[in-house]
Amino acid sequence: AAVTSADEARVRRDDRAHVFHSWSAQAQIDPLPIASAQGSHFTDYEGRRYLDFSSQLVNVNIGYQHPKLVAAIQEQAGRLTTIGPPFANDARSEAARLIAELAPGDLNRVFFTNGGAEATENAIRMARLHTGRQKVLAAYRSYHGATAGSITLTGDPRRWPSEPGVPGVVHYWGPYLYRSAFHATTEQEETERALQHLRDLLMVEGAHTIAAIILESVVGTNGILVPPPGYLEGVRAICDEHGIVMIADEVMSGFARCGEWFAIDHWGVTPDLICFAKGVNSGYVPLGGVVISERIAQTFDDRPYPGGLTYSGHPLACASAVASIEIFKDEGIIEHARSLGAEVIGPGLRELADRHPSVGEVRGLGVFWAVELVRDKGTREPLVPYNASGADAKPMNDFAAACKQRGLWPFTHFNRTHVVPPCTTTADEVREGLAILDEALEVADGFTTG
């Protein structure tokens, strides 16, 4: 049935009266009611169509309403909608086998969760019990989720209101050459100094007290920070030397986003635990999990793992993961993501960087790109301050509004806009989106001082 403005009014009214939204001052928001979505676009009740350069929260990797994925969920719903974690179930077994086959090395077991935060939370618990140590090193400029442990791991301002958080988390600086914490001027220096910083931290914290080092293989929301050559290999070596569990948080970077099944495959590094969610089934049904190495799994061979969730391995979610992985393979989506990055997004963004005074740097891979906006290319002063809000955030808010007016839904965070459409977006759709970015960047250019 056609949607009407009366439908829209009711959605809006009930939302404003009864829905309590994430991360928001409830009286200051006005969420846009969405009527439908297809492919790389969603449509509001006025019939305005938006090209989604954000993939919602960077999770709709396969695009909206993929018919085979919808059919798989319908088929599973008709057969068996729910069965608890103590039983074995065909959808769950198959999803676990497929994910284990995709994961590097001997990461062969999957603990299923409902999303990313529960994945990082359980990965930390496994690492602590496996090593008998308590402390965890987590990066600044990171996001690992919003539950008690995962928000403590998080290295961005979303952690601040929850502090002091859970005990035993120590933060470190990861590599980020454009704003190097180590005054490095080359990738090689950045790698060497970032690794030395970790070694120094282990010295003063006591390496034997550290259970795990957790990192996003490619940092997502906090900047699409692609690690320079040698960094992840170096972290792996440090972990091996000191018996520390290496946890790769691939919640945002996995499942085609970086043009690989897991982003860490780029560097051929095998972590001990991988956290996944989002792209595994594009969020059609909530799902996440931890892929576990044989060695860590064996810790719990004769000792119960003290953790669980009513919906761990939910059949609807697992059936959608199975179908999604099959679609990725059948339609060559990993390869498509890789070539979109190499042939369309990367070159397109570099061209924008050349022409716009507000673009300080573009970086990324696959369908995972950041455009870093600055006041002045020479000083690299960010277009808005770190964690800007209110009037300080005006340049970014104006930029985002200019995108939306032109039918592009952008992802913005602090002084960056990320180019993270579904991994199934066509090259032509990406070019349309880049053309809109080109126009909207003129708004950002207006705030430059260089």
Q: How many residues bind ligand PLP (CB under 6 A)?
A: 16
Backbone angles phi, psi at 111, to 5 degrees: -100, 115
Query: Got the DSSP string for 103-167?
Result: SSTTEEEEEEESSHHHHHHHHHHHHHHHHT--EEEEESS----SSHHHHHH--SGGGGGGTT-ST
Binding residue for ligand PLP, selected from 35, 57, 100, 237, defined by CB under 6 A = 57
Q: Does 373 bind ligand PLP (CB under 6 A)?
A: no
* CB count in 10 Å sphere of residue 197: 16
Q: Does 144 bind ligand PLP (CB under 6 A)?
A: yes
Binding residue for ligand PLP, selected from 95, 251, 321, 371, defined by CB under 6 A = 251
The amino acid at residue 241 is: E
Q: Does 143 bind ligand PLP (CB under 6 A)?
A: yes
* Residues 6+ positions from 16 with CB-CB distance below 8 Å: 30
| Nearest CB to ligand PLP, comparing residues 248 and 402 | 248
| Nearest CB to ligand PLP, comparing residues 216 and 260 | 216
Q: Does 116 bind ligand PLP (CB under 6 A)?
A: yes
Rounded alpha-carbon distances, angstroms, from residue 167 to 157, 164, 197, 243: 18, 8, 22, 21
- Rounded-to-integer distance, Cα 222 and Cα 215, Å: 12
Q: Does 220 bind ligand PLP (CB under 6 A)?
A: yes
- Rounded-to-integer distance, Cα 326 and Cα 334, Å: 12
Is residue 304 within a helix (H) or strand (E), and if so which, with residue range? none
For the chain, the C-alpha Rg in angstroms (whole number) is 22
| Nearest CB to ligand PLP, comparing residues 116 and 360 | 116
Name the minimum Å distance from CB 298 to ligand PLP: 26
Name the minimum Å distance from CB 175 to ligand PLP: 16
Q: Does 120 bind ligand PLP (CB under 6 A)?
A: yes
| Nearest CB to ligand PLP, comparing residues 216 and 361 | 216
- Rounded-to-integer distance, Cα 258 and Cα 215, Å: 16
Q: Does 113 bind ligand PLP (CB under 6 A)?
A: no
Backbone angles phi, psi at 295, to 5 degrees: -60, -45
- Part of the chain binding ligand PLP (CB under 6 A), chosen from 225-233, 249-257, 290-298, 365-373: 249-257
The residue number whose beta carbon is nearest to ligand PLP equals 116
Name the minimum Å distance from CB 212 to ligand PLP: 15
Q: Does 156 bind ligand PLP (CB under 6 A)?
A: no
Binding residue for ligand PLP, selected from 52, 249, 272, 429, defined by CB under 6 A = 249
Binding residue for ligand PLP, selected from 102, 117, 365, 441, defined by CB under 6 A = 117
Rounded alpha-carbon distances, angstroms, from residue 240 to 236, 243, 260: 6, 5, 25
| Nearest CB to ligand PLP, comparing residues 57 and 170 | 57
Q: Does 277 bind ligand PLP (CB under 6 A)?
A: yes
* CB count in 10 Å sphere of residue 305: 14
> Would you tell me which residues interact with ligand PLP (CB under 6 A)?
57, 115-117, 120, 143-145, 216, 220-221, 249, 251-252, 277, 288
